[in-house]
Structure 1
């Protein structure tokens, strides 16, 4: 699969970012693309910052949703932009919003993922990208991207931890050299009236893996209830933290804060 994506130019330099512009009809029952519920940040006391050596190993077991859990084959249609924002509804019964501007490619039918030697891919759907083509060395390079996936049979904290730990190898290079990483969290918050858990990863000394590799990046994860396709919806926002055409921190926080139940 990795070679197939390389062959068709879908392997980005910033940690094997595999962008596949495919319909969400791609039926991987184990991994779902989620939308975005409204998150109001009530950050409480966080655990100490983790370092690379302290990170838990991610789980690999895939659990299907409970019998009778709502299923959505296709995401709702993308609505017209309003008040300078584009809502992105997803198959998880959640939505998020990004600015309605030429710098954003907002979609709810894009699937992308990360993979590497000896690792199973992490796949996200309902993906949106910022500043595509900013780097002349790779026309598919972006400085920020947003997406969602889902898990079943785990707690919010376990799902969020597993997702944020993945940042280490997302930003490793093809020679398996790893970045320096610290993770802060958990931070408790609320999404459309229900609990949510957030973790933040700060990455530096990212090993070069192409002409557009950033040296620093941030990787935000929020886990909350899924309303369809998965019991736990996992929202991810990754962005370069140095270089050109950066997504401002305030805009990134606005996007994270836009998570909400679709229709709320």
Structure 2
């Protein structure tokens, strides 16, 4: 069970509490899907899965009402250091944006590791800049930004991983500064870290 939804006034950033004892905030025009999960899979099985998600731009393409422009979510890892957790997850971009069967792969440029601080604790950020994404779906993006931040968790896992993915090169695509804002909003959930 995810933590309960945090209600805020209309027009305010929307906090989403994760089961890892950390909360992140999405912009007011995003959809708070705190109880939902998202992820990617291929013919070879599940690639990755994230819970307590926020989404933006669902339905921007009439041919696929589920395709959106952005998504954020969290997962956890134990038994690995921050850099390994972040690096392992960002390198999934090559599989996430590959063609079905992973026969055709996109070009991926990795940026990082960047050492940052989340609520006074160390964190590691990587960005995958994904281009030349194989065009299999009419609504699929030509490029994408896939960001991963790993920081110590307060509950249920040693490391919490925050993922923010922004489609680029499409009408209505968000500016990359939105990812920076979401990452900067990470803080201990009520009852943790204090």
TM over 0.5: yes
2:12 is the alignment partner of 1:84? yes
Matched residue, 1:202 = 129
In 1, distance between residues paired with 2:182 and 2:158? 22
Tell me by how many angstroms 1:119 deviates: 4.0
Match of 2:149 in 1: 222
Long gaps (5+) in structure 1: 1-24, 26-73
Aligned residue number for residue 95 of structure 2: 169
- Compute the RMSD of aligned alpha carbons: 1.5
Is the contact made by 2:47 and 2:92 (CA closer than 8 Å) also made in structure 1?
Answer: no
Q: Which has the higher contact order (CA 8 A, sep 6+)?
A: 1
- 1:84 is displaced (CA, Å) by 2.1
Distance 1:239 1:87 in 2: 19
Decide whether the 8 Å contact of 1:81 with 1:100 is kept in 2: no
Between the two proteins, the alignment pairs up a number of residues equal to 190
Preserved contact between residue 78 and residue 108 of structure 1 (Cα < 8 Å): no
1:113 positional shift: 1.1
Equivalent residue number for residue 116 of structure 2? 189
1:241 aligns with 2:161: no
Which residue among 23, 26, 37 is the counterpart of 1:95?
23
Unaligned runs of 5+ in 2: none
3-state DSSP of counterpart to 2:100: coil
Give the whole-Å Cα distance in 2 for the aligned partners of 1:200 and 1:164: 7
Post-superposition shift, 1:171? Answer: 0.5
Q: Secondary structure at the match of 1:110?
A: strand
Determine the C-alpha separation between the residues in 1 that align with 2:132 and 2:66. Answer: 22
